[in-house]
Amino acid sequence: MRGAARLVAVVAVLAAAVPARATNGMRMIGFGPVQGSMGGVGVGATLDASSVASNPAGLTELGGRLDVGATWFKPTVDYQATEAQMPPGFTGAVVAQPGQVIDSRRGGSLIPAVGAAFPVGDSLALGIGLFGVAGMGVNYPSNLYGGPTYTSYMQARLTPGLGWKINDAWSVGVTFNAMLAQMKWDVAAGFGQQPHDTASSYGYGATFGVKFRPVKSVALGLAYETKSIFQEFKFDVPAHGGVNPATFAPVPFPGGTDRLQFDQPSVTTLGAAWSPIEALLLAADLEWIRWSQTNGKNQPTFNNDTMATGAMPWNMNWEDQMVLKVGAQFQAPRGVKVRVGYNYGKMPLDPDRAFENIAFPAVAEHHFTAGLGWDVGAWGVNVGGTYAPRATLKGSNGAYPAMGGQAIASYETRMSQYAVDLGVSYRF
């Protein structure tokens, strides 16, 4: 177990700069450059060894192979207060001035994706993968909640799995998900909130998959990823002065430990793939992400003494999200593959939770993808790209959430994204 934890930690280091990558909520649209260039499909269509993460039943179709890839991801995020009004008698910090646009200075991020498949006899296959899976965050330098606003969440995953071909039509698979998450934030310094330095949490879960081929040219897939259970994040908070959230009067806080329970939701995906001709593959996935389990009302869950540390609980109030993924791959002459895709998921956020939405702006919805593959003998090279045009969320309640939940400010937060993928594969 210690060795597995170290492997996950390696991925975490590689993915540590990924926290603003809110695509389908907090999750990447797909795993690796091939899935990514086809809108994230990978449950009905078995494309490469990243199937160990999306649908392990597909491992039996791959033979022996290793796929190594990385994604350079760059979001553009900004925030604008359109109206601001503090409660009567409040003497603390103010939010951003109305009309002022504040840019998040989060840079680009490198996201790893490594998968391998190993056949064992005619009907069994083993697989393992290392992936950056989820993350979000911002870095607003000034003039938001009385000072800089920095948030960061990331999750990396180690995925050993097994696929079993029952017969020519049916295959099943299972993956154990060993995870490491890291979190950090520094918000609302003007209200006496203290920085919460990076804390780590180990988690676990599983993914179960089924594939059915009624005929050679058609495949149907179903994958279920369980809710991921994590340890509590623990943050030591020193003694400091702050503001009483009920009266807004200055108050000393003796300090203590903030404990945050932040699990990740279950995901159910139904996929289909069809090859009308040998050179063409068409695929679609429909995915249900149950954000309400972990990011819903009054979540994530704080287990702390507010009057000791001054920390305020969150209420992200996310809804469940349905995601549509479609992709196509055309086998051109000389080993060249041309790929295109599209991904759509309506943002799961509650527009009235401005504090949480500004700090964690998971607003991206439409994703347009494309890529190329080139196979030469046992080797292959894959490149791809994703563009998510600007999405905007408007709402209210822009001050700190403890202020009675009243609508005391209006805001807009916006995000666009692009990503460039590169990977190599080796079949053995």
C-beta neighbour count of 108 within 10 angstroms: 14
Q: Using the predicted structure, report yes or no on whether residue 124 has a pLDDT greater than 80.
A: yes
Provide mean pLDDT across the span 333-352: 96
CA pair distance 228, 355, nearest whole angstrom: 25
Q: How many domains does the chain have?
A: 1
Position 10 scores a pLDDT of: 46
Position 302 scores a pLDDT of: 85
Provide mean pLDDT across the span 113-121: 97
User: At 317, which helix (H) or strand (E)?
Assistant: none
Query: Is 69:33 a contact under the CB 8 Å cutoff?
Result: yes
Position 74 scores a pLDDT of: 85
Which amino acid, one-letter code, is at 220?
A: L
The residue ranges of DSSP E strands in 105-232, in sequence order, are 109-120, 124-144, 147-158, 161-165, 170-186, 196-215, 218-225, 229-230
For residue 403, the 8-state DSSP code is S
Q: Using the predicted structure, report yes or no on whether residue 401 has a pLDDT greater than 90.
A: no
Per the structure, the complete domain to which residue 291 belongs is given by 2-427
Q: What is the CATH number of the domain that holds 288?
A: 2.40.160.60
CA pair distance 267, 291, nearest whole angstrom: 9
Pick from 394, 307, 401: which is nearest to 95 by CA? Answer: 401
Q: Mean pLDDT, the chain, as a whole number? A: 87
Q: State which of 37-46, 129-138, 255-264 shows the largest mean pLDDT.
A: 37-46
199 or 402, which is more confident: 199
Position 282 scores a pLDDT of: 98
Position 190 scores a pLDDT of: 63
What phi and psi values does residue 71 have, to the nearest 5 degrees? -120, 130
Position 114 scores a pLDDT of: 97
Of 16-30, 59-73, 225-239, 291-305, minimum mean pLDDT range: 16-30
Position 375 scores a pLDDT of: 96
Q: Chain-centre distance of CA 113, in angstroms?
A: 14
Position 145 scores a pLDDT of: 61
Query: Is 405:80 a contact under the CB 8 Å cutoff?
Result: no
Q: Using the predicted structure, report yes or no on whether residue 228 has a pLDDT greater than 80.
A: yes
Q: Which two tokens stand for residue 47?
A: 């494309």
Is the whole model's pTM more than 0.85, yes or no?
Answer: yes
CA pair distance 138, 17, nearest whole angstrom: 11
Position 83 scores a pLDDT of: 62
Q: Is the dihedral angle over the CA atoms 14, 15, 16, 20 positive or is it negative?
A: positive
Position 181 scores a pLDDT of: 96
C-beta neighbour count of 231 within 10 angstroms: 16
Position 335 scores a pLDDT of: 94
Cα atoms in the Cβ-side hemisphere of radius 13 Å centred on 50: 30
> Which residues pair with residue 209 across a beta bridge?
173, 223
Pick from 132, 113, 115: which is nearest to 48 by CA? Answer: 115
Provide mean pLDDT across the span 217-231: 98
CA pair distance 217, 230, nearest whole angstrom: 40
Confidence of residue 12 (pLDDT cuts 50, 70, 90): very low
Position 135 scores a pLDDT of: 86
Of 43-52, 247-256, 362-371, 396-405, minimum mean pLDDT range: 396-405
C-beta neighbour count of 363 within 10 angstroms: 22
Q: Which two tokens stand for residue 225?
A: 């990823």
396 or 75, which is more confident: 75
> Which residues pair with residue 47 across a beta bridge?
none
Pick from 262, 314, 269, 319: which is nearest to 290 by CA? Answer: 319
**Helix (H), strand (E) counts: the chain:** 5, 22
Query: Is 136:22 a contact under the CB 8 Å cutoff?
Result: yes
Digit-coded pLDDT (tens) for 175-206: 999 999 999 988 877 667 788 999 999 999 99
Provide mean pLDDT across the span 38-53: 97
Position 250 scores a pLDDT of: 78
C-beta neighbour count of 240 within 10 angstroms: 14
Confidence of residue 155 (pLDDT cuts 50, 70, 90): very high
Confidence of residue 312 (pLDDT cuts 50, 70, 90): confident
Confidence of residue 14 (pLDDT cuts 50, 70, 90): very low
User: At 301, which helix (H) or strand (E)?
Assistant: strand 301-302
Confidence of residue 246 (pLDDT cuts 50, 70, 90): low
Provide mean pLDDT across the span 107-119: 91
Pairing type for strands 267-274 and 229-230 reads unpaired
Percent of the chain scoring above 90 in pLDDT: 62
Confidence of residue 5 (pLDDT cuts 50, 70, 90): very low
Pick from 148, 183, 354, 145: which is nearest to 260 by CA? Answer: 183
Query: Is 77:20 a contact under the CB 8 Å cutoff?
Result: yes
Place of tokens 């430990």: 257
Position 367 scores a pLDDT of: 97
Place of tokens 């401005």: 354
Of 43-47, 78-82, 401-405, minimum mean pLDDT range: 401-405
- 186-211 in b/e burial notation, b at 16+ Cβ within 10 A? bbbbbbbbbebeebebbbebbbbbbb
Position 20 scores a pLDDT of: 39
